[in-house]
Structure 1
Amino acid sequence: MPELPEVEVISRGLARSLEGRTVESVKILNHGSVKMPWHVFASRVAGRTISAIRRRGKLLIMDLGENLHVTFHLKMTGRVIAHEEAATPQKHTRLIFGLTDGGSIEFHDTRKFGEVRALTDEELGDWKFYRTLGPEPLETSPEALAEAVSGKKARIKSLLLNQSVVAGVGNIYADESLFRSGVHPTAKACDLSHDSLVKLFTELQKVLKQAIDENGSSIRDYVDSGGDAGSFQNSFKVYGKKGEPCPCCQGILDCSTVAGRTSTYCNKCQKLCD
């Protein structure tokens, strides 16, 4: 699933190419992708000008003037791609916005898990998924994020993946930041010192910023708004590397399941408590 860096890269690319342009038509090729009455969605969006494109957590948001927001939850395989010409529907194209200048926006989703909505301010605020999103990790100090989890009995990786605790972090960037800060994914937050938690969130910010600079991580499906792959996967220290040597101590990397996700770590370099 695209995480914060991938969605941020997509939003920046789309903003550069689409802000100020107007949606002329809406073609829905898979009605299941639109999580509201399709005719309401189409009537709301057609004729509106794109005023901004931004990200909140893992959610891509396209603002259409005042009081209307198209939200894309990309889930596993969703892509939003801008075309300078009318898009030709492909096998997995689910939605196409035609633009008045001849361009188009394509929502492509192989596994059909992605969700698209067109919501007013009030509807967006009432949407539980959006309303319960936690703080943005790149807009919140490591000290404040550390304070938010300090003393909790939950395992630290579970807290990193909890979107109500910190928005936008998924399995890749949780594993990478935990390794770089020397914290074991199964450690309980209450067993870690304030300094260790601050270091963790400091490393999380560094990892997220590096991943954005490197256009995100492409493992299977992710591409940016122009169809280009990311390269941060070449900078992984531990993610997906079970059985390989630790890049620090050369011990063998281990893995286990935390919060339902595979977690890769080094038992020598990452500590369970202070």
Structure 2
Amino acid sequence: MPELPEVEIYARYFQRHALGQRIARVRVLDERILGATRKATFIRRLTGEQFTTVRRHGKHLFAQAGERNWLHLHFGMTGDLAYYCDPAEDPRFARVVFDFDGGGHLAFEDMRLFGIVDLTSDPDDYIREHAVGLDPLDPALRLRLFRRLMEKRRGAIKPLLMSQQVVAGIGNLYADETLFRASIHPLRPVDRMTPDEMKAVYTNMRRVLNEMVALKAGEGDYPARMLVQHREEGDVCPRCGGEIRRTIVGGRTTYFCSRHQR
């Protein structure tokens, strides 16, 4: 599932290939991908416009195409973007295609149809109306605010990190990586964490996400020091030599070190 770092790369891809291009035609190849926007409305409001701004918030991507007219993309489990010049090369699972005046095409692909393509008049209104939490890389999310958000909650730390109503954009993989770096057990009750432990989660959350964005932008491999390279029960922890264990937290498969994560 695309998480914040993947969607940040999609936003940069969209900016590189779609901004400034006039939309000559909109093709909705599968109406099931559309959210609350009807097909006819979607096509009418985008045809003839051009994308001028792109913005990411958590796992959501917004692109402005006219006054109070924003394309909204959520990538679900298998969403992706593809830019190409030959219309005969429409991707197999293309659900919506934007044909540009310049001859290029941008497709939103989604094999499993868990994604959403629709319109909103304002991203901030959408974020508020859908109770989407703060973006973890937003400069406004300082440590004090992060602590305050967590102090209002009860339960294990991992599901809270993954709650899109608390902070938006962290999924299973990067929640595990954050807690591995912070030396916090994924089942640790948030109300039993010390201020220093909460700071470690906050600091490593931002560090992990920034590192992942940089890695994906450069198409580099995950370093061996990262948990993502050791997600197998019984593997050796690259940090302390402990045993990597597997469990289920909040319905999600979870990997952690049995020695240094407490």
Query: Equivalent residue for 2:83?
Result: 82
Distance 1:148 1:86 in 2: 48
In the alignment, is the contact (CA less than 8 A) between 2:3 and 2:59 conserved in 1? Answer: yes
Alpha-carbon spacing, 1:199–1:92, altered in 2? closer, same or farther (3 Å): same
Q: Is the 8 A contact 1:152 1:188 kept in 2?
A: no
2:148 corresponds in structure 1 to: 147
Pairing 1:170–2:171 present: yes
Instruction: Give the match's secondary structure for 1:81.
Output: strand
Matches within 5 A, 1:212-251: 212-215=213-216, 231-232=221-222, 236-238=226-228, 240-251=231-242
| Alignment check: 8 A CA contact 1:51 1:63 kept | yes
**Is the CA contact (8 Å cut-off) linking 2:65 and 2:71 kept in structure 1?**
yes
Q: Which amino acid aligns with 1:113?
A: F
Aligned CA-pair RMSD: 2.1
Q: Quick one: structure 1 residues 29 and 209, their matched pair in 2 at CA, closer, same or farther if it must change by over 3 Å?
A: same
2:102 aligned residue? 101
**Which TM-score applies when normalising by structure 2?**
0.91
Q: CA deviation at 1:57?
A: 0.9
Gaps of 5+ in 2: none
CA contact (8 A) 2:179 2:185 kept: yes
1:133 maps to which residue?
A: 132
The Cα shift of 1:8 comes to 0.5
The reply to whether residue 46 of structure 1 matches residue 32 of structure 2 is: no
2:67 — aligned with what?
66
Q: Work out the CA distance in 1 between the residues paired with 2:118 and 2:197.
A: 40
In structure 1, runs of 5+ residues without a counterpart are: 217-227
Q: 2:42, 2:225 → 1: CA distance? A: 40
Which shifted more, 235-244 or 112-121? 235-244
Greater length-normalized contact order (CA 8 Å, ≥ 6 residues apart):
1
Question: TM-score of the superposition, structure 1-length normalised?
Answer: 0.87
1:236 corresponds to which letter in structure 2?
M
Q: Which stretch of the first structure deviates more once superposed, 28-37 or 70-79?
A: 28-37
Q: Are 2:252 and 1:261 equivalent residues in the alignment?
A: yes
Closer/same/farther in 2, CA of residues 82 and 89 from structure 1, 3 Å limit = closer
Letter of the 1:119 partner, please give it.
T
Farther-moved stretch of structure 1 (135-144 vs 107-116): 135-144
| 1:34 alignment counterpart | 34
Classify 1:233/1:74 alpha carbon distance in 2 versus 1 (closer, same or farther; 3 Å): farther
- Identify the residue that residue 2 of structure 1 maps to in structure 2: 2
Over the matched positions of the two proteins, sequence identity in percent amounts to: 31
1:14 aligns with 2:27: no
**Cα distance, 1:118–1:167 mapped onto 2, change above 3 Å:** same
